[in-house]
Amino acid sequence: MAKDTVRYPDEVVEEIDELVDDGMFESKSEFYRFSAEYVLTLVDPDHDVKTFNFDEIKSELDISDADHAKALGTDGGTFFLDAVITVRKQGLRGNYEAAERFIDTHYDPTDQECIILEELLGTYRDGANSA
């Protein structure tokens, strides 16, 4: 097993110490191993977890699939990225109305994702108007 040295802000270490003291984790090492593996599963759902008792710890922490998806975003991290690509593609081609239709049919106007996509589309419009 490899060993890495990582620096954390004092406040973060204090919170981790509290979790260990409360018995949420057996040790700081267990916390760090679990945390690293958990983030890797967020980034890559096919990640092969190596941490001993990972599923048991996750279960004890009561991290549901919904919580897991929420950590990635409301759509689990996939649809929004696809939406950004779609809006970007339409914006680059000058198809602003098509991009607007896409946003309007897939998002509520008050959603954070909607606002971000509209801002993205606006950058392409502004770029075309200034050219």
Residue-wise pLDDT for 9-43, tens only, equals 899 999 999 999 999 899 999 999 999 888 888 77
Q: Contact at 8 Å (CB) between 17 and 28? A: yes
Average pLDDT over residues 109-113: 89
Instruction: Give the pLDDT confidence of 59-85 residue by residue, as tens digits.
Output: 888 877 666 666 665 555 567 878 888
Full domain range(s) for residue 123: 77-130
For residue 69, the model assigns a pLDDT of 64
- Average pLDDT of the residues of the chain: 85
62 and 14 in a single domain? The answer is: yes
- Specify the 3-state DSSP secondary structure of 32: helix
Please state, as a whole number, how many other Cβ atoms lie within 10 Å of the Cβ of residue 24.
14
Predicted local confidence at residue 3, as pLDDT? 82
Question: Does residue 18 sit in the same domain as residue 45?
Answer: yes
**Domain for residue 27, yes or no?**
yes
Give the chain's domain count.
Answer: 2
Residue 103 in domain: yes
Q: Is residue 39 part of a domain?
A: yes
Q: Does residue 84 sit in the same domain as residue 67? A: no
Cβ partners under 8 Å of residue 71, min gap 6: 42
- Kindly state whether residues 62 and 40 are assigned to the same domain: yes
Assigned domain for 107 exists: yes
Residue 3 covered by a domain:
no
Q: Are residues 57 and 15 in the same domain?
A: yes
CA-to-CA distance for 129 and 25, rounded, in angstroms? 56
**63 and 94 together in one domain:** no
Alpha helices in 3-78 (DSSP H): 10-21, 28-43, 54-60, 65-72
pTM over 0.85: no
Same domain, 60 and 86: no
Burial class (CB in 10 A: 0-12, 13-18, 19+), 52: exposed
